[in-house]
Structure 1
Amino acid sequence: MKLRCIIVDDSAMQRIAIARLVNNHPNLAIVGEYSNAIEAKNCLKNNDIDLIFLDVEMPIINGFDLLESLDSPPQVILITGNADYALKAFDYDVTDYLYKPITLTRFEASIKRAVARYEQIHKLNEDEEFIFVKSNLRQRKVVLNDINWVEALGDYIKLVTNEGNVVILSTMKSFDQKLPKDKFLRIHKSYIVNLEKVQKFNSKNVEVAGRQVPLSRNKKTELAEALYNV
């Protein structure tokens, strides 16, 4: 198992030093190295990253500013030459912090902590059913129980979740075939609902996670029966 990681540091020498440690570690794989937070943020948008080696003191946008700008940051190991940042690091739930110059022993202890945290997170999620969908030219994991409903958008469909929407190129028919029939029901030509998220319904609408979606007249009986069996 390898954690996909990036290095973000404005010092080329420091990036080389960290990259050498990463490349020699069996549980790490470098995806990219960046000299500033803006380039790093673009990488995080387009790649699944497990771990960031992040320098705190960078020009324009520092390490803490970068973390504040991310909706759901991956694990972070802060790199700093200033011991005063250690306390602040806990406010950002970082996995660890390393003082410059980085020693091999301290580096390996940090990675051991990151691997343990990764395994704990994924063990909690391993019982959840999920599918992979292609969104924005990359594969994305979607936990089925996170989907509130699926909505048709022309040649695309939108997966509505509490964390935001995921738009993918697909027909409703083909996506419906991927979903477990005991948990999802197509209630309208343009809507599929997660039966566990249905709160109430009438002859025209279904309330799902606090929102109203339309119900086809000929689907009302089927929905009632499906909800009875959930």
Structure 2
Amino acid sequence: MTCAILDDEPLALDLLADYCAQVPGLELKGQFDDALAGLAFLQDTPVDLVFLDIHMPRLTGVQLAQLLPQPGPRIIFTTAYDQYAVRSYELNAADYLLKPIAFERFLQAVQKVRQQLASSSAAPQATGLAPAPTAPTEPQAASADAMFVKNEHRLQRVAFNDILYIEGMKEYLMIYTTTGKVLTLQSFRRVEEVLPPDRFARIHKSYLVALSRIEHLERGKVQVAGRLLPIGDTYRESFASLIKAYNQL
């Protein structure tokens, strides 16, 4: 079984590579700390399994998975966040590995993929994401259509459909919605873990936009709700790939 690893954290990348070397029959074809380099490799080199970090610069793991050729590899997402955040993506990943990753848990996930590949002929997949694992007993956020953010001394509900764009303001975020603005003491990283990746995109170190709210693109900027927002150089290529993939505008 062949695999690849994509993770922007060097220690996590090295750890997973070491784990792969310890598993008989698991051949590591490539490891990347850059999402776009990893995507280019996977578009040209088919593998059976990808260990994919959810949050990476320029392109999230979720966005990358959706850009892979189909039928694609099985995906095992890795994340430092708990499973409630991961489940909000509504994805059919083969498995989730929560950092720090123990070898025993890694081996369990690999074995699960082996079993899925062995039985895949009986259940052909429409996408490269594998069948969903057995539902856990805890409540899930898979059907969530909103998120709760800290606003002063309360948690305020913000519906995904209402979000226009989000602006970073040092340690705060300003969420612009169809009904007003919400200021929250929160990080982009945490918000990106919760927002549906097929509906939102980071375009700049200070801006994240709802794809459905983009009015037009012009000269390295996007217009949302009448305001022109810059597309940062770091995000330009990944954003262009998303626009092309989803036939936006």
**Relative contact order: is structure 1 or structure 2 higher (C-alpha 8 Å, sep ≥ 6)?**
2
More helix by share: 1
